[in-house]
Structures are given as structure tokens and as C-alpha cells.
Amino acid sequence: MEFDLIARIRSRARRRGDVVLGIGDDAALLAPATGQVLVVSTDTLNAGVHFADGDPPAAIGWKALAVNLSDLAAMGASPAWCTLSLSLPEVDDEWIAALLDGFFELADAHGVALVGGDTTRGPLSLCVTAIGQVAPGRALRRDAARVGDGLWVSGTLGDAAAALGLGRTAPGPLAPAARHRAPAGPGVAVDPFLRGRLLRPTPRLALGGALGGLAHACIDVSDGLLADLGHICAASGVSAEVELAALPASPALRDTGDEVSRRSWQAAGGDDYELCFTAAPEAAGAVAAAAATAGVQVTRIGRIVAADQVPRVRLLDGSGHDWSPSRRGYEHFHPHT
Ligand code: ADP
Ligand code: MG
């Protein structure tokens, strides 16, 4: 049964010229491009922690790869290969077929070849390793922000957190970690756009690639802007000032909830998988051009300043006052801490 499953997976794996040997041997043989640095990232999605058992399997497969490709995007890397380790309580053919549909839809869209993995019986869990390449010196690191840099974010923020915060919606359970983060809502119908942002995040690979050699520091927003921008500040030894009013919101988000909730979702909600990056102020035009080429909206949301004593992120409301998400909201969106 395990071999049948591996054969099924193998039959769907895309071929690439730089895969000398793919699925089927003890290990894969890959031929990186000359002079490129390899970029490797791993993330695990566990049922009941990162998604609910009842989530659409195609969305689970998509997201397991998407969160890894988002990490490669945040490094400015071009993705090439991946592995998939599956722990399954049982083999449900239809469920697995849908899972693979979602996984390969995203893999094929970016020319990523599945070159190996592992298949075991156990609690439902997916572990993906994504491998990409980047030219030496062009990787976008967290420790490269400089005082005076402009601070930018791609896409819109808060959509996924709003979908979670608004609770479950028919049909079926809402999504990753919903059971942990949000009590079941009173049957609020969540906007399909917001729900899609939660279930099928878009890794910003074209933008990440276009920012190589242009942006200074970069991170993908997985745990929330405050937390992730905080990582850039800590690694770079700087502070950041964010204008709350500048945070990009989708039309669907603007139609949703009250203002305090929206602010909390935007500033502290996770699962956006947008890129947050810094660049020299003179580079603003080039950043806008790179975003246009990548077909992604980017918004300047603040600036990098010298750290007082400890690096920190300040959220400024319209009148120049500091704002922080409500305690409840903050904890609500920080299930990991
Ligand atoms: P081994 O005992 O050497 O670990 P396995 O039976 O686990 O061999 O795997 C056989 C081959 O199938 C290997 O090439 C492995 O990388 C691949 N493989 C196993 N499970 C998966 C999976 N879920 N996705 C992709 N490749 C897989
Ligand atoms: Mg194995």
C-alpha cells in the first residue's frame, strides 16, 4: 500500500533537467546551477495545530508547499526542488488524490520538482522541504536592515487572520489552527476571498526574486507583522516605525468587523505570507518597478530607525501615538507563544 502510494506520487512529479535522479532510490541526485548558492527551508503542518482534519485536502496540500515556498521567496531565492514527508493515519485514496492535486498545482505553477520524501503511518502531518537557488550576495537576510531604510509590505495584511477571527463557516471547518485560535463563531459567513487567503496563501516568489540586490532585509509574514518585523529589528539591531493607517487592506477586509479588530488582524494576525522588506529610500522607484514586474502590489508602511536601547517595533496611529493590539487580540493571534 505504501509502495502504491509512492508510485502514485512519483507518477505525478514533474521532471526537471537538473534532477539527475528523483523519487525511487535511497536519495535524490540534484545538479545545482554553477555558482549558485543552495537555499533550504523546512516547515511541518500538523493536523489539529496548523490545520483541522476536516479542512479541504487540496488546501492542505497547497499550503504545506506554499509556506515553504514563501520562505524561499523571503530569501530572494528561485525554487527548484522539494521533498514531502507524509504521516497518515490511513490511506484514503480520494483524500490523498485531492491533497496531491493541491500540492502539485502549486509545485507545477512554479516549476518545482518533487524529488523525494517519506511515507509513514501515524498522526496526520505533512513535512515539506523546499530547495532553491540564489546568486551569492543576493539573498535577502533578516539582519540587513539599515537605519533610514523605507519599510514595505506586499499585498494586503490581515485577511487570513480575519477569516480565522470570524470563526467557522459552512461548509466544513474553517482552517489551519482554527480550533485553537478562535472559538466557533455564531455561524458568520466568512467572505470567500478572506477564506481563500487563509487556505491557499500565495508565495511571493516573483517579487522576492525581483528584490534581490535591491531590498536590504526581508521576511515573510507568517506569525504577524509585529512579530515578524520584530525578527528583522532584532537581527539587524534597529527599530521600526509603522504607520497603522498605511497598512494595506483588501476591500473584503475593509467591509469586515470593527476597526479595532481590523487593526489587530492587520498588525498582529498571522498566515498572510506577504513579504515585509526594507530598502534604501532612494530605491523607492526601483522597488515600485520590481513590484510592477512581479505583478504584486507593494506599500510603504514606515521606516527603520536607530534602536533606542533594545530593538522594537512601534505602531503609530494617525496622531503620532503608539498603538498596540488589544491584549486579547494579541494573544489570540499569537498561539505559538
Ligand atoms: P527508504 O527506505 O530508502 O527511506 P522509502 O520506501 O521511504 O525508502 O522511499 C522510497 C523512495 O520513494 C525514495 O526515493 C523516497 O524519497 C521516495 N518517497 C517516499 N515517500 C515519498 C513521498 N511522500 N513523496 C515523495 N517521495 C517519496
Ligand atoms: Mg523512507
Nine cell digits for residue 173: 471547518
Burial of residue 29 (CB within 10 Å: 0-12, 13-18, 19+) is exposed
The residue whose CB lies within 8 Å of the most ligand 1 atoms, and thus the one to mutate among 4, 5, 6, 96, is 6
208: Cβ below 6 Å to ligand 1?
A: no
Nine cell digits for residue 203: 508565495
Q: What is the pLDDT of residue 302?
A: 98
CB–CB of 195/305 below 8 Å?
A: no
255: Cβ below 6 Å to ligand 1?
A: no
Q: Convert the pLDDT of each residue in 65-109 to its tens digit.
A: 999 999 999 999 999 999 999 999 999 999 999 999 999 999 999
Q: What is the pLDDT of residue 187?
A: 52
**Nearest bound ligand to the CA of residue 114:** 1
Atom of ligand 1 nearest to the CA of 24: 14
Q: What is the pLDDT of residue 172?
A: 42
Q: Convert the pLDDT of each residue in 200-229 to its tens digit.
A: 999 999 999 999 999 999 999 999 999 999
Instruction: Give the residue from 234, 214, 169, 221 showing the smallest Cα distance to 196.
Output: 169
Q: What is the pLDDT of residue 188?
A: 61
CB–CB of 28/10 below 8 Å?
A: no
Instruction: Give the residue from 72, 18, 19 showing the smallest Cα distance to 10.
Output: 19
Sequence-distant contacts of 231-236: CB under 8 A, at least 24 apart: 231/142, 232/142, 232/145, 232/276, 232/278, 233/145, 233/304, 233/307, 233/311, 233/312, 233/313, 234/311, 235/141, 235/142, 235/143, 235/145, 236/142, 236/143, 236/144, 236/145, 236/146, 236/304, 236/311
Q: What is the pLDDT of residue 1?
A: 55
CB–CB of 262/249 below 8 Å?
A: yes
Bridge partners for 218 per DSSP: 277
Instruction: Give the residue from 216, 68, 42 showing the smallest Cα distance to 143.
Output: 216
Query: What's 40's DSSP letter?
Result: E
Residue matched to cell numbers 535577502: 140
Q: What is the pLDDT of residue 173?
A: 42
Residue whose Cα lies nearest atom 2 of ligand 1: it is: 26
Atom of ligand 1 nearest to the CA of 2: 6
Single-letter amino acid, residue 211: L
Q: What is the pLDDT of residue 16?
A: 96
Q: What is the pLDDT of residue 201?
A: 97
Averaged pLDDT in 10-residue chunks for the chain of 337 residues: 87 95 97 98 95 91 98 98 97 96 98 97 97 97 98 98 73 40 54 95 98 97 96 98 97 93 94 97 98 98 95 91 68 46
Rounded to whole angstroms, the Cα distance separating 59 from 109 reads 15
The residue whose CB lies within 8 Å of the most ligand 1 atoms, and thus the one to mutate among 118, 124, 126, 128, is 118
Nine cell digits for residue 44: 511541518
pTM above 0.85, yes or no: yes
Residue 184 has a CB neighbour count (10 Å cut-off) of 13
26: Cβ below 6 Å to ligand 1?
A: yes
Q: What is the pLDDT of residue 320?
A: 79
Rounded to whole angstroms, the Cα distance separating 318 from 322 reads 9
Q: What is the pLDDT of residue 3?
A: 77
Residue 34 has a CB neighbour count (10 Å cut-off) of 5
CA of 118 to the centre of ligand 2 (A): 4
